[in-house]
Amino acid sequence: MERYGAVILAAGKGTRMKSNYCKVLHAVAGRPMLGYVLDAVRNLRLEKICVVVGHQADDVVHRFDSSDLNFVIQEPQMGTGHAVKQCSKLFQGFSGHVLIMCGDTPLVTPQLLSDFISFHESRSSKLTVLTTRLENPFGYGRVDVDDHGIVLRIVEERDSDQIEKLIKEINTGIYLVQSQLLFDLLENLKNDNDQNEYYLTDLISEAHGANVRPLAFHTEQDTVVVGVNSRNDLAKVNSLMWNSIRNRLMSEGVTLLDPGTFYPDGDVTIGFDTTICPNVMISGSSSIGEECYIEPGCVINDSTIGNRVRILSGSKLDKVEVDSDVFIGPMAHLRPETKIGRRVKIGNFVEIKKSIVGVGSKASHLTYLGDSQIGENVNIGCGTITCNYDGKTKHPTIIEDRCFVGSDVQFVAPVRVGSGSVIGAGSTITKDVPKNSLAVARSKQKVFPLRFGQGLATKNEDR
């Protein structure tokens, strides 16, 4: 096999995105689109990978910095040809071939790129362009190919005339070029176009001038080579990516009651026999176990969920760990650094933040537990809260095993409740409670007659 390297173009701002952010950092199914391109290229195990950055270069480098990547800055940004030329020093003395592609094609697959390379090698080609056919090719460069598969020219949309715009074979922006030829041809590019930029597509005319026959590798997989140039494109690519992930999950034994309304990120894993109801979003690197049931309207991010967990409607889980056989919701909110033990019940309108809830414990209604440690088999009554913030610092509440906490209790942290204790309803606990104790902290009930009641009744009767 020949030697291969890659140049990935990621310098553009993406003007049509109308965004303050670099285009390749926009998310597709929860990940920056450039990440998918890098994954596809890495799968080929090439010798060198060069990423050309420009707009918000520091942000791109910070997000993707890795020992196997070489970052080159294009400044100013003067077109795709100029961008590739910035990599000339990195490929100096490299006798192989260079794969060139854009960082805004997140649907491209390693298999397609592998087939592209195989075609390039089998034809002993020095320059090959990956093309496809679109019924509506607006915005793409048109590729004029003869009957022998030789590329005669590529014309950008903005520079094409009415006849050229009728061509439906388009340039995907993916090329394979022999390294020495590539950088020799780049030296001759001109910027005599309406953008005053150096187009990579002009390699074709330069190659013909050097007696090199550029070849076209046509793919019928038109969707996988779609680039993202606008918010509309981003929405379409997201939809295609979600469909791909949904299909994979269903093939792995996951039940999706309405696949089109389930929004999973690419790194999400779900065990078999788990059922996902409509309008659920699972993002980040979340992992869902087997035989779970997730009701409509739930949002789960960067969380690990065990087996046989039931999450009821409208619940939100963010960066939490949930063990098996747990019942959550409806309308529960589990916030970061929360760990839920086995057989725990977290009921409706319960919020938990940075807390550990032990095996078999329950908080069934209208409760807030923050910065707390809840032992095993503890009952937390309705309306209970941990008052963990004193205005400057967060403090812990510790409730040990087998405690029973009545309704409407406030724990003013820092405070510890010993194992086996009972807290009376309506209490405000400000001091530690020894184990096996009853703690009640509320004023004595007093009843006063309403002396004016009879007079009011009399007046009503008079009416």
**3-class DSSP state of 209:** helix
Angle at 214 between CA 168 and CA 95, to 5 degrees: 135
Cβ count near 32 (within 10 Å): 23
Question: Minimal CA–CA distance to 271: which of 283, 294, 254, 286?
Answer: 254
d(C-alpha 35, C-alpha 388), whole Å: 40
Q: Residue 136 to residues 155, 165, 170, 298: CA-CA distances in angstroms?
A: 16, 10, 10, 38
Residue in 52, 53, 56 with CA at minimum distance from that of residue 19:
56
Exposure on the CB side of residue 240, measured as CA atoms within 13 A: 19
Packing angle between helix 57-64 and helix 33-42, nearest 10 degrees?
50
What sign has the CA pseudo-torsion 21, 23, 28, 33?
negative
Of 82, 97, 148, 365, which is the active-site residue? Answer: 365
Distance of CA 222 to the CA centre of its chain: 24
**Is 395 part of the annotated catalytic residue set?**
no
Backbone angles phi, psi at 113, to 5 degrees: -65, -40
Angstrom distance (rounded) from CA 255 to CA 273: 7
Quote the tokens at residue 299: 């949002």
Hey, how many other C-beta atoms are within 10 angstroms of the C-beta on 246?
A: 18
The CA-based angle 78-82-86, given to 5 degrees, is 125
Pairing of strands 287-288, 269-270: parallel
Closest CA to 274 of 320, 316, 324: 324
Single-letter amino acid code for the residue at 119: F
**What's the rounded Cα separation, in Å, for the pair 88 and 260?**
45
Tell me the C-alpha to C-alpha distance, in Å, between residue 272 and each of 242, 248, 286, 324, 343.
Answer: 19, 12, 15, 15, 20
In the chain the first and final C-alpha atoms are separated, in Å, by 104
Q: Residue 8 pairs with which residues in a beta bridge?
A: 51, 101
For 222, residues 6+ apart whose C-beta sits below 8 A from its C-beta are: 132, 133, 134
Residues in Cβ contact with 446 at an 8 Å cutoff, skipping those fewer than 6 apart: none
Structure tokens at 260: 């089109």
Active site residues: 365
